[in-house]
Structure 1
Amino acid sequence: MKNLTHAVRMRVLARAWTLRTLSPLLAIAAFGPLVPTSQAQTPVLVLSNKWSLAAGSRWDLDTGNLTRGVAINKLTGNVLLASRVSSNHVSVISGVDGSDLGTLNSTGITGGTLPLDLVGVADDGVIYAANLSAASSSTLIIYRWNSEADGMINPPITAFTASPAPTPRYGDSMDIRGAGTNTQIIVSGSSSSEFGVFTTTDGTNFTLIEIPLSGAGLAAGELAKGITFDGTNNNCYGKKDGSTTLHKLSFNLGSSSCALLTNITLTGDANTVGTKYGKSNSVEFISAVLSSSTATTNATSHRMKVYTVNNPSAPTTSGDFATPQPYTGNGNVVGSSDIGAGMTVGIDVNSGIIALAISFKTNVPPSIVTQPQDQTNVLTGGYVTFSVSASGSTPLSYQWKFNDTNTIAGATNSALTVTNLQATNAGLYSCRVTNAAGSSNSANATLALLPSVLTAAEVPLWAKSVGDLFFLSNDNSQRGLGFSPASGHLVVVSRFPSNGVHVVEANNGNYNSSLDMSGVTGAGTFLVNLCGVGDDGAIYVANLDTAGTSYEIYRWANELGSTVATVAYGPGDPCGCGRLGDTMAVRGGGTNTQILIGSRNGAEVVLFTTTDGATFSPNVITTDQPAGLAGLGIAFGAGDTLWTKSSAYQFRHIVFDLANATNGLLQTFTAGYATSCALGVDPVNDLLVGVVPNTGTRPIPDNLELYDVHAVVTGAAVEPSLIDQDFFKTSNPNLNGTGAAAFDVNGGRLFALDSNNGLLALKVVARLFATHSGANATLTWTGPSALLAASAVTGPYTNVPSASSPYPTGLTNSARFFRLAR
């Protein structure tokens, strides 16, 4: 048995957690044999500046978001520029030096949200341009010119038109491949739940085939700002701004379906847009524009990036060039790029155009592109990953070293993960990268460890990371978690791949079912965000409303797939306190159900009550505590009390009296101030848990902090005891600090959600209480724990046969010690 707690001597109640002992263990994330140097080399992609045009340097390259589309004509080597300056038109620019070569006849270009947005050129030199259809009532149009020369004289014809547009926002992203009757055009948009492929049987008129992103498990807009064909395969790449993930999909035009092949992480480059695929000399590469809505310098943003992606799990940055100095931020984070005719070109809106020459070299020795980074905020007992990227002729071989001289056996990949970290693991880590032309050593990265509390107070049951369940993703889409005492299931809210509320088996984390979403039709910033479950099994899900004026709560009476949600509250403004929907707690059942939420920005919390068990009314509790006290965490305590937490806020325990409209602070403490964000409370056993996310400043890995608050809530002026920490399987950045935690008090379990990192379930031992009647004592506890006894506090402890709560000890003056085990 594990999880020993609460050694109890008659008349003395004490807590004694068993320490977990972890031996240092080195685990390699992935490894493989060194590749013989005789293997054929893949040439190295080399890029160099060719020319650039700053915004404002030519009449139709503006500083006001009117010029977004750029493409390369592979037949002529020229660059096509789509602009709405002065008129909707396409200009031709010399690919050699960026000089002006004229403007296509653009008569008749009109309609849509933006009459002209992007441009592309087929392999036969035929030019296509598309408008942007941002609304369902808008018109989608694709224009066609036979060639540059013909287009200088004749206006375009319409290759495709649809009114209303089949899918909103088509036109944010576009690519073209093939020629004549084999020409294909692919489009997507920032709110598109599908992507579209246009085909033709006569080379002039096109038909649209729409392919739902749900087939690849992707949410709407995931291919928003950079969709591109993968050569001649029925594959494509795409990404959205704000995400480092570049998706690679396969698609089937016959069945209008797609599937996710792989995800490529463009580390640190979330705001890349306008991605395009190219392949030459066996090198596969992606061009993109790294933009920013706010930055007005091109030191780290407003860059032209090119990535070699032959190895999708370890892409390398082959080119990183500054675009022209931006005139202002790129407010919409839009742009485009293209590859062809021995160059790549990109436009960063409000910055300008940059053209890079492409060449290839062989026998290039390794060069470190991205150094391994220091990790000095890591918890003992956790894990850490170092990574390195290098350029040079492939194949590249890797060998990690510890403290400069100690070769780490099996550490032959570009990434190294070390687990069960102990003091002996602290030190310097470096990597030597080798190929047939030479070798290069990375800089040392320092690993320094912080102390942690590792006991058996909570023991992991199971964990589910990103991708383990179809709705767990790394895009901040999961924030709501609840436990149903009625069914023993978990409820998880996710906006990936679409808005959904999912039921999960609490025993093993496996998917059970999903709720009917047909009744969820409201508004708000996020349609669904957080959830809670009543004691009667009713499920409550709330939206996130940053304005706080359209807050809404939905109610499902049970988990049955046929149950349709009803509106329990709203949409409305329950408190006039701004942003709502970041926190939520539910307790009770039927007409005794209560729902608790907190304001992200104000000092108010709102308690919703009901007289019919179905519709709820708000009761505002205005505290005298700092605004934002319940910004990321709120939970019911015992009786009429509640707990609150937010990032860089103290835990607060507050008592309230609805009848007299009063409230007051019971306790607050500094423990967890700088670490925990979301919280959960077990008011029976006086346990409090905080979710510690990877926000860039907190200790890693992501973990749960379990506090014993018994002494605090019973009046002692002390800080609570941090009695255990347990780690999530991954530590992906969670910059919003969002998550949720829920106790199963009767089942002795704890469940937690860490956005971008999935779910964690643990066993938790109950508190052992002793009550005295004269010389006799009775032990009580809640949950499935076994009672152990010993004649000395240090043990050994043995099982008390058939003991259940309440347990009369039958002791008089003799001393025995008791604790619980799971």
Structure 2
Amino acid sequence: MKSRLLRAVLFASFTLTFGFLTSRTSAQSYVLSNLWNAAVGDANYPFLASDSLHRGLAYNPVTDHLLVVSRTGGPNVYVLDANTGASVGTLNYDTSVIGGGTFPVNMVGVADDGAIYVGNLSTSTAAPDFKLYRWANEDPATVPLLVYDGDPSGGTNAQRWGDTMDVYGSGTNTQVILGSRNGSVVAVLTTSDGTNFVAHLVATDAAGGDFFPGMALGPANTFWSKKAGGNLKQCNSDLTANSASTVTSISAVAGAGGPIAIDSTRKLAAIVNTTSHQLSFYDISDPATPEQQGAGQSFPTAPPNANSNGTGSVDFGGDKLFALDSNNGIPNHLLAGISLETPDNLRLYDISKLTNPPANVDTDFFPTDNVNGNGIGSVDFGNEMVFGLDTNNGLLALSIQRTPGPISVSLRDNDAVLTWPGQGVLQSSTNVTGGYADLNGAISPYTNSIRSVSQVFFRLRN
């Protein structure tokens, strides 16, 4: 007796694909609009003067405030309302705790729990003395703690430290990263109790100088870096082996500048160009084709002045983006608060499986980004099409195409029982590569005798 072999060519389950009636050359997920500015010469910001003494900026997610480090008129950490730019006050600058280094304070970062970390700048490569200070909160009565003091290399690889710094996590999971100014190493500071930090010197495959002026920490022991004119790079680090290697290198943004911020959740990158004095913003979900979101944003000082140190900072804060472009003794393009908005769009969901939330099949954008303040619009299905109307942004018409499948096969005695969802036409062939013919009238479930065949293949067509 012949052996009987049944094979089914299986296709993906029903999905929706769409074609544009009207489309953009580049569909954007976000647009940038100015929220507020603070420029040199504004009496509300006396700490922003004609000097290069302001380099560090960070957002506090607990208070919705912005922190700025400045040494103009004496070193201090200033607190601003992130939504208006109004002054809130300063941190407790206790000189009995804070002191030492080339600059006593330089860069700032904020943990997810609102703890504030400020580092000094240590330029000595003979006897580096990097200091890290921690404020538990912004209360003026909260005194800072010295939580790290020493050479992050442990004396094995003396470097200049404190030009770049970023903070990630909270509590005992807080990490602080420092990029060496001219070397190819980074230091990651960790804590077991939340208040005392130890340094891990991490060797990398980077070139010397790759970690200035842009550094940003990410989840799961990852970090990003960018030098002026260089690729935006992501590294995976192993703090047990004290090593890191590059896993992503984005060349398309090489000319965008240096100081960076990364939103790992939304896969966004913000970059300050300290030469052209522009803030650029990218979707990096596909590193091979990063997509700039809108035009570059200028800083408030005009005409722009040189930032010969190439220093500055940028940070995300919820739906806001903040940037600082400092200079060497001449004021320039300082704080700019930018709000992030999602343009009006048409979203289609698959509700066939009744999942919560339903699966988002596709999101497409209207041809313009005008504000629809009244929220007025319509959407309707018809003849394998879906139509969307946004009152201030035009029409979208999308075709819906169904891809049939999958086929399920079960054996019952000498018969094969085939089932499938939807209205696809069943075809069969004795050759998997071709020769398929319709099985007229076949509907699911379909029973096929396999008593007298050695093999048969099935598939569905529209």
Interval containing the TM-score (normalised by the shorter chain): 0.5 to 0.7
For 1:538-577, list aligned pairs within 5 A. Answer: none
Maintained 8 Å contact 1:62/1:85: yes
| Residue aligned with 1:110, SS | coil
Residue in 2 aligned with 1:573? none
Correspondent of 2:133 among 139, 143, 160: 143
| Residue aligned with 1:71, SS | strand
Does the C-alpha gap of structure 1 residues 143 and 266 become closer, same or farther in structure 2, counting only changes over 3 Å? farther
Say if 2:57 is the partner of 1:70.
yes
Residue in 1 aligned with 2:175? 184
Output the CA distance in 1 between the equivalents of 2:80 and 2:29. Answer: 29
Show CA shifts across 1:505-537 (max 9, x none): xxxxxxxxxxxxxxxxxxxxxxxxxxxxxxxxx
Show CA shifts across 1:210-269 (max 9, x none): 1112xx3x1122122111122x222111011232x1111111111111111021124462
Does the C-alpha gap of structure 1 residues 129 and 311 become closer, same or farther in structure 2, counting only changes over 3 Å? same
Maintained 8 Å contact 1:44/1:362: no
| Residue aligned with 1:69, SS | strand
Output the CA distance in 2 between the equivalents of 1:317 and 1:81. Answer: 27
Correspondent of 1:44 among 29, 47, 56: 29
Maintained 8 Å contact 1:118/1:129: yes
Residue in 2 aligned with 1:122? 111
Show CA shifts across 1:311-351 (max 9, x none): 10111111421111256311101101111232110100032
Residue in 1 aligned with 2:298? 322
Structure 1 residue 143: deviation in Å?
0.6
Output the CA distance in 2 between the equivalents of 1:201 and 1:64. Answer: 39
Structure 1 residue 178: deviation in Å?
0.8
| Residue aligned with 2:63, SS | coil
Residue in 2 aligned with 1:778? none
Residue in 1 aligned with 2:308? 331
Output the CA distance in 1 between the equivalents of 2:162 and 2:250. Answer: 24
Output the CA distance in 1 between the equivalents of 2:37 and 2:172. Answer: 35
Correspondent of 1:286 among 269, 274, 291: 269
Maintained 8 Å contact 1:120/1:127: yes
Say if 2:247 is the partner of 1:264.
no
Output the CA distance in 1 between the equivalents of 2:172 and 2:283. Answer: 31
Maintained 8 Å contact 2:274/2:311: yes
Show CA shifts across 1:428-475 (max 9, x none): xxxxxxxx9589xxxxxxxxxxxxxxxxxxxxxxxxxxxxxxxxxxxx
Structure 1 residue 52: deviation in Å?
1.0
For 1:488-527, list aligned pairs within 5 A. Answer: none
Output the CA distance in 1 between the equivalents of 2:129 and 2:153. Answer: 5
| Residue aligned with 1:333, SS | coil
Correspondent of 2:284 among 309, 314, 317: 309
Q: Percent identity?
A: 30
Bigger mean CA deviation after superposition, 123-132 or 184-193:
184-193
Residue in 2 aligned with 1:91? 78
Aligned structure 1 segments of 4 or more residues deviating by more than 3 angstroms: 163-167, 392-395, 436-439
Does the C-alpha gap of structure 1 residues 71 and 62 become closer, same or farther in structure 2, counting only changes over 3 Å? same
CA RMSD of aligned residues (A): 2.8
| Residue aligned with 2:172, SS | helix
Output the CA distance in 2 between the equivalents of 1:308 and 1:103. Answer: 34
Structure 1 residue 285: deviation in Å?
0.4
Say if 2:331 is the partner of 1:354.
no
Maintained 8 Å contact 1:304/1:346: yes
Structure 1 residue 364: deviation in Å?
7.5
| Residue aligned with 1:138, SS | coil
Q: Report the structure number with the largest CA radius of gyration.
A: 1
Output the CA distance in 1 between the equivalents of 2:397 and 2:54. Answer: 45
Structure 1 residue 76: deviation in Å?
1.1
Residue in 2 aligned with 1:61? 48
Show CA shifts across 1:153-198 (max 9, x none): 2331101110587542221111111111111111103213211111
Output the CA distance in 2 between the equivalents of 1:187 and 1:438. Answer: 50
Maintained 8 Å contact 1:129/1:142: yes
Structure 1 residue 47: deviation in Å?
2.2
| Residue aligned with 1:181, SS | helix
Output the CA distance in 1 between the equivalents of 2:56 and 2:47. Answer: 12
Maintained 8 Å contact 1:235/1:249: yes
| Residue aligned with 1:269, SS | helix
- Letter of the 1:139 partner, please give it: D
Unaligned runs of 5+ in 1: 1-34, 293-300, 366-391, 396-435, 440-822
- Letter of the 1:278 partner, please give it: D
Maintained 8 Å contact 2:229/2:254: no
Q: TM-score, normalised on structure 1?
A: 0.37
When the two structures are aligned, how many residues end up with a matched partner? 320
Q: TM-score, normalised on structure 2?
A: 0.65
Output the CA distance in 1 between the equivalents of 2:150 and 2:208. Answer: 21
Maintained 8 Å contact 2:152/2:201: no
Maintained 8 Å contact 2:152/2:187: no
Correspondent of 2:234 among 248, 251, 262: 248
For 1:410-425, list aligned pairs within 5 A. Answer: none
Structure 1 residue 38: deviation in Å?
8.4
| Residue aligned with 1:346, SS | strand
Output the CA distance in 1 between the equivalents of 2:253 and 2:145. Answer: 42
Output the CA distance in 2 between the equivalents of 1:267 and 1:162. Answer: 35
For 1:420-431, list aligned pairs within 5 A. Answer: none
